[in-house]
């Protein structure tokens, strides 16, 4: 079930060096049936997009101050006077530093918080599970 899906297309900037940056089309996805997670898909021009999934709470915290450790670190800053949120991502395949426009990212996050407010994630998951059970019984697939 994909109720409460909140998606947005944004342009992130990948920082390659202090002088070299490239624009990366990015899709942000939040689904109410997986209420603790956000998915960020980077369209880098390669045949397969690069997808990351991590806690929504981490992104919410990172818009306001430094947070995270290990594979995902997020913090707000300004680049050329413009507010941005930096995401440092690390995996066995490599590392990336990306800038997201702070205002657009915050607007998208607000939409996710409207869809499933903080603290209501367990209730959302319970509703989805209950509905799935009712549907399974109605179709003869459940107990």
Q: Residue 100 to residues 103, 104, 119, 137: CA-CA distances in angstroms? A: 9, 8, 26, 45
Mean pLDDT, contiguous 10-residue spans, the chain (143 residues): 81 94 97 93 91 95 94 96 96 94 97 89 57 56 55
DSSP 17: S
pLDDT at 3: 65
The Cα 120–Cα 60 span in angstroms is 15
Q: Which phi and psi (to 5°) does residue 31 adopt? A: -120, 130
pLDDT at 139: 56
| pLDDT given for residue 2 in this prediction | 46
pLDDT of 1 reads: 40
Set out the domains of the chain in order of their start, with CATH numbers. 6-134 (2.30.31.20)
Q: Cβ contacts of residue 53 below 8 Å, gap of 6+?
A: 37, 38, 39, 40
User: Taking phi first (over 0 means left), then psi (-120 to 50 degrees means alpha), and beta for anything else, what does residue 118 get?
Assistant: beta
Residue pointed to by tokens 């989805």: 128
pLDDT confidence of residue 9: 97
């Amino acid at each position: 079930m994909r109720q409460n899906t909140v998606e947005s297309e944004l342009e992130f900037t990948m920082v390659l060096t202090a002088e070299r940056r490239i624009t990366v089309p990015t899709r942000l996805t939040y689904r109410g049936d997986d209420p603790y997670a956000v998915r960020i898909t980077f369209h880098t021009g390669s045949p397969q997009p690069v997808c990351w999934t991590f806690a929504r709470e981490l992104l919410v915290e990172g818009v306001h101050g430094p947070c995270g450790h290990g594979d995902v670190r997020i913090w707000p800053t300004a680049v050329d006077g413009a507010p941005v949120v930096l995401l440092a991502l690390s995996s066995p395949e490599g590392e990336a530093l990306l800038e997201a426009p702070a205002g657009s990212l915050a607007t998208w996050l607000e939409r996710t918080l409207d869809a499933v407010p903080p603290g209501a994630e367990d209730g959302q998951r319970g509703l989805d599970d209950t509905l799935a059970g009712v549907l399974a019984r109605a179709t003869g697939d459940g107990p």
